[in-house]
């Protein structure tokens, strides 16, 4: 391949090479000479093949949003969806799908959160890597985006995301790192925003030092559409392709920059070479197979991503003979996705009411409220009257399509008042109410204690109406678990005081304490915690055994479905540092998960492996991940707040703490040099029970002991303390 690239590059003039660094139009690259054209399309929820930027796209399967896919916690499902989208892309002559988005959900107000996986980088990275595997298995490239810190829509094309190094490394980059290292995406899309003042589209540290030199990425970096600011700086930073094209002005700028020496031809060739390499890779992909219909693939995923948040008295699943009232306009027109570049033109759309009537003829319907939030008493009263005829009331509440879109963040977490009023009234009037909340991000549910059942359904594609019927009637189990915390109120959220920031910058002041890391640390009770989700059946977790070998810990267990119907348990593994840490750390972090399918009575094995990275934090001084020696509690559970196993392990770690003359006595006394130090202090008449003494650095002991301790004694203490 490299020879062909070099040969083709040599065939190009400087002008042609510079022109190659921007697209030919909104969706494809230039194709000078024998260089093939690359065709790109959005998006994460299905192929959005449009003629121009925001044109209506050709029909394609509209899959569950990535937010809904994340709630499946099912890596194989993520690969299935990626494979299905990749196969449809190939059949539509698309070489690169501009997906997945893996930006972390810093605030539930984020307008594109429906397009992203999680508040947790481990879950996001694992699901995204499998999704990329699926797409690329079809000979279609993926484009992991938006690199990096595009966690809000407000002023997204100019704002600077100002973040400290640990939060950058531990929260906002790991999902990208996992995808790069485990799935080798053909492309990475750089974000619009600035990172600590420098636009991502010209951020050498991000695009070259971290992405290529540290993580070994060897694919192409494409700009987000319109993200290029200074094209020369972009080439220097490692931004290969500017989209959309043709960007003729920038081509001229590049030509002049090379001619006057501001830009080396070597840098130019590096970028042009990667465009050519990708073009050859795409051209070399196997012939597309005829597209299959993926409506049922999407429907299975949609059901498995639905989260049964509450089910008092086992109200769900419904029994077909029950008289059911379906209330709400979403029962006729479900919100299957969000606005912006991920909007897919579906091949068909399942209507919840129609799909429910397949299982249960006596389903009454009332619109109940207007999706624009305009009060309408006639609709309100009709809904109450309809509910009065039913054994069970199913209300579909949630966010309208317009309320969740690229380009705009929400400014509150409220549902429209007309919806809250109706849910309240229905719950006051009826004892069997199920509320289905369809939203691309958390909303406040002030009435959450009232209905017997709450089912959370993120926008889940064209077949979510059928999936809702499947779940309501128990054909499918709602095996989703929340991939983000649902807070009681906006004011509880981690970045509430600093989202979406000011005119020029947004400070990520909460640092690493994002999502459940915040609620855990603040001991805030969320409405529904990260990882939460109920089942229609029950599970037992037994025979839990662990084996430790230094920093490596393996845990085996058995999971049994103790209920009477098929179920899909999700076991989550969290690591919780015990005792003092070199740096402030979250109380616990997700470091493993697996999902099973178990028939009634079936038992299966699970194995989890933890290694040094599972216990590590990012040391900004050493500029590497380090595992501090000490004790950690490993927890296995069914959510971030519900555990069936806790076990403490002491690991050797990967670093030894280095003590210096500035180390306080309180750091040294617990170490193997503690006894000798106590003896020396005693002989020197230093009373370590005095708090001010314990916090005294070693270097001050000669002063504190009136000269009885010498600097040489302190040096000996440090030598011994660091010798372990
Ligand atoms: C958009 C989005 C990006 C998308 C691209 C092409 O502005 O930020 O996710 O892939 O443009 O539509």
Establish whether the linkage from the previous residue to 459 is cis, with ω within 30° of 0.
Answer: no
pLDDT band, very low/low/confident/very high, at 580 (cuts 50, 70, 90) = low
- Does 341 sit in the ligand 1 pocket, CB within 6 Å? yes
Categorise residue 629: left if φ over 0, alpha if ψ from -120 to 50, beta otherwise: beta
Nearest-angstrom CA–CA distance, 39 and 47: 12
Q: How far is the CA of 118 from the centre of ligand 1 (A)?
A: 19
Span of 62-66, 211-215, 320-324 with lowest mean pLDDT: 320-324
**Tokens at residue 548, please?**
């430790």
Task: Tell me, rounded to whole angstroms, the distance of Cα 312 from its chain centroid.
Answer: 30
- Does 28 sit in the ligand 1 pocket, CB within 6 Å? no
Sorted by sequence, the CB contacts under 8 Å of residue 263 that are 6+ apart come out as: 232, 235, 236, 254, 257
Containing 3, the helix (H) or strand (E) segment is helix 2-10
The mean pLDDT value of the chain amounts to 96
Residue nearest to atom 7 of ligand 1 (CA): 225
Containing 541, the helix (H) or strand (E) segment is strand 539-549
Nearest-angstrom CA–CA distance, 93 and 87: 10
How are strands ordered across the β-sheet holding 570-577?
A: 589-595, 570-577, 630-639, 642-651
Query: CA distances (Å), 40 to each of 337, 339, 420, in order?
Result: 21, 19, 42
Nearest-angstrom CA–CA distance, 336 and 301: 13
Atom of ligand 1 nearest to the CA of 54: 12
> For residue 413, which of 697, 111, 144 has the smallest C-alpha distance?
111
CB 188 within 8 A of CB 217: yes
- Does 153 sit in the ligand 1 pocket, CB within 6 Å? no
Residue 107 has pLDDT above 90, yes or no: yes
Backbone angles phi, psi at 237, to 5 degrees: -80, -20
**Tokens at residue 674, please?**
């503690």
Atom of ligand 1 nearest to the CA of 115: 9
**Tokens at residue 710, please?**
């010498």
Average pLDDT score over residue span 419-439:
98
Per-residue pLDDT reduced to its tens digit, 601-645: 999 999 999 999 999 999 999 999 999 999 999 999 999 999 999
pLDDT at 656: 85
CB-side exposure of 534: number of CA atoms within 13 Å? 17
Higher pLDDT, 687 or 508: 508
Nearest-angstrom CA–CA distance, 664 and 718: 11
Q: Which residues face 433 on adjacent strands?
A: 393
pLDDT at 530: 98
CB 53 within 8 A of CB 26: yes
- Does 224 sit in the ligand 1 pocket, CB within 6 Å? yes
Backbone angles phi, psi at 406, to 5 degrees: -55, 140
- Does 371 sit in the ligand 1 pocket, CB within 6 Å? no
Using DSSP's 3-state secondary structure scheme, residue 167 falls into helix
Q: How far is the CA of 341 from the centre of ligand 1 (A)?
A: 6
Residue 402 has pLDDT above 90, yes or no: yes
Check 80, 224, 269, 619 and give the catalytic one. 224
**Tokens at residue 262, please?**
């501001």
- Can 74 be counted among the known catalytic residues? no
Q: How far is the CA of 486 from the centre of ligand 1 (A)?
A: 27
At CA 658, angle to CA 652 and CA 664, rounded to 5? 115
CB-side exposure of 307: number of CA atoms within 13 Å? 33
Residue nearest to atom 6 of ligand 1 (CA): 225
pLDDT at 366: 98
Containing 194, the helix (H) or strand (E) segment is strand 194-195
Average pLDDT score over residue span 237-258:
97
Using DSSP's 3-state secondary structure scheme, residue 271 falls into helix
Q: How far is the CA of 224 from the centre of ligand 1 (A)?
A: 6
Q: How far is the CA of 592 from the centre of ligand 1 (A)?
A: 31
Query: CA distances (Å), 475 to each of 60, 294, 295, 299, 560, in order?
Result: 26, 19, 17, 12, 20
Nearest-angstrom CA–CA distance, 506 and 473: 46
Query: CA distances (Å), 512 to each of 127, 509, 574, in order?
Result: 21, 9, 16
Per-residue pLDDT reduced to its tens digit, 483-525: 999 999 999 999 999 999 999 999 999 999 999 999 999 999 9
Q: 238, exposed or middle or buried, with CB in 10 Å at 0-12, 13-18, 19+?
A: buried
Categorise residue 638: left if φ over 0, alpha if ψ from -120 to 50, beta otherwise: alpha
Strand 324-327 with 392-398, pairing = parallel
Size of the chain, expressed as the number of residues it contains: 724
| Alpha helices, DSSP H, located in 485-619 | 516-521
pLDDT at 54: 64
Backbone angles phi, psi at 580, to 5 degrees: -75, 150
Residue 305 has pLDDT above 90, yes or no: yes
pLDDT band, very low/low/confident/very high, at 403 (cuts 50, 70, 90) = very high
- Does 145 sit in the ligand 1 pocket, CB within 6 Å? yes
At CA 714, angle to CA 711 and CA 717, rounded to 5? 155
Higher pLDDT, 285 or 557: 557
Per-residue pLDDT reduced to its tens digit, 55-79: 778 999 999 999 999 999 999 999 9
Strand 160-162 with 96-97, pairing = unpaired
Average pLDDT score over residue span 303-315:
98
Per-residue pLDDT reduced to its tens digit, 21-53: 999 999 999 999 999 999 999 999 999 998 766
CB 272 within 8 A of CB 9: yes
CB 190 within 8 A of CB 147: yes
Per-residue pLDDT reduced to its tens digit, 270-279: 999 999 999 9
Strands (E) in 640-704, as ranges, are: 642-651
């Amino acid at each position: 391949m490299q020879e062909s690239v070099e040969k083709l590059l040599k065939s190009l003039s400087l002008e042609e090479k510079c022109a190659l660094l921007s697209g030919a139009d909104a969706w494809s690259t230039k194709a000078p000479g024998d260089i093939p054209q690359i065709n790109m399309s959005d998006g994460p929820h299905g192929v959005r093949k449009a003629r121009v930027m925001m044109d209506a796209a050709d029909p394609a399967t509209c899959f569950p949003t990535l937010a809904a896919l994340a709630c499946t916690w099912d890596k194989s499902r993520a690969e299935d969806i990626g494979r299905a989208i990749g196969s449809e892309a190939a059949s539509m002559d698309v070489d690169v799908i501009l997906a997945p988005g893996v930006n972390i959900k810093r605030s539930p107000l984020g307008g594109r959160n429906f397009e992203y996986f999680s508040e947790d980088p481990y879950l996001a990275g694992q699901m995204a890597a499998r999704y990329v595997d699926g797409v690329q298995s079809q000979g279609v490239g993926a484009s992991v985006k938006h690199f990096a810190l595009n966690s809000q829509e407000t002023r997204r094309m100019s704002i600077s995301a100002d973040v400290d190094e640990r939060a950058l490394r531990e929260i906002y980059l790991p999902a990208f790192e996992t995808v790069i290292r485990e799935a080798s995406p053909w492309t990475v899309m750089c974000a619009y925003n600035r990172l600590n003042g420098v636009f991502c589209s010209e951020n050498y540290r991000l695009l070259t030092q971290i992405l290529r030199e540290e993580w070994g990425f060897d694919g192409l970096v494409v700009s987000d559409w319109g993200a290029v600011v200074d094209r020369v700086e972009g080439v220097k930073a490692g931004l290969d392709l500017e989209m959309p094209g043709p960007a003729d002005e920038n081509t001229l700028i590049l030509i002049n920059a090379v001619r006057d020496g501001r830009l080396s031809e070597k840098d130019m060739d590096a970028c042009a070479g990667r465009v050519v390499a990708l073009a050859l890779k795409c051209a070399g992909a196997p012939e597309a197979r005829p597209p299959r219909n993926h409506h049922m693939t999407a429907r299975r995923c949609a059901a498995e991503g639905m989260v049964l948040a509450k089910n008092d008295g086992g109200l769900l699943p419904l029994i077909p003979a029950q008289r059911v009232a379906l209330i709400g306009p979403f029962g006729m027109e479900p919100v299957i996705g969000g606005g912006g570049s991920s909007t897919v033109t579906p091949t068909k759309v399942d209507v919840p009411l129609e799909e429910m009537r397949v299982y249960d003829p006596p389903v009454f319907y009332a619109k109940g409220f207007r999706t624009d939030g305009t009060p309408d008493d006639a609709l309100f009263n009709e809904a109450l009257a309809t509910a009065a005829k039913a054994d069970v009331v199913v209300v579909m509440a949630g966010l309208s399509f317009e309320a969740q879109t690229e380009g705009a963040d929400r400014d509150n977490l409220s549902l429209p008042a007309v919806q809250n009023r109706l849910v309240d009234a229905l719950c006051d009037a009826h004892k069997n109410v199920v509320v289905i909340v369809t939203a691309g991000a958390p909303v406040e549910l002030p009435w959450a204690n009232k209905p017997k059942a709450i089912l959370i359904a993120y926008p889940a594609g064209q077949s979510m109406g059928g999936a809702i019927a499947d779940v309501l009637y128990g054909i499918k189990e709602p095996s989703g678990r929340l991939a983000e915390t649902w807070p009681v109120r906006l004011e509880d959220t981690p970045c509430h005081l600093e989202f979406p920031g000011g005119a020029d910058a947004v400070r990520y002041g909460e640092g690493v304490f994002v999502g459940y890391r915040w609620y855990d640390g603040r001991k805030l009770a969320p409405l529904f915690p990260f990882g939460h989700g109920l089942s229609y059946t029950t599970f037992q977790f037994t025979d839990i055994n662990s084996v430790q070998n230094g920093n490596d810990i393996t845990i085996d267990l058995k999971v049994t479905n103790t209920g009477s119907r098929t179920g899909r348990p999700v076991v989550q593994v969290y690591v919780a540092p015990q005792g003092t840490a070199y740096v402030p750390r979250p109380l616990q972090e997700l470091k493993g998960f697996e999902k099973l399918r178990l028939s009634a009575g079936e038992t299966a094995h699970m194995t989890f492996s933890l290694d040094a990275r599972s216990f590590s934090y990012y040391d900004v001084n050493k500029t590497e991940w380090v595992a501090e020696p000490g004790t950690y509690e490993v927890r296995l559970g069914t959510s971030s707040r519900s555990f069936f196993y806790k076990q403490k392990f002491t690991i050797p770690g990967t670093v030894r703490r280095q003590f210096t003359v500035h180390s306080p006595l309180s750091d040294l006394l617990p170490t193997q040099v503690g006894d000798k130090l106590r003896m020396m202090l005693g002989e020197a008449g230093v009373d370590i029970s005095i708090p001010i003494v314990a916090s005294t650095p070693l270097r001050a002991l000669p002063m504190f002991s009136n000269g009885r301790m010498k600097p040489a004694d302190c040096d000996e203490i440090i030598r011994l303390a660091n010798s372990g």
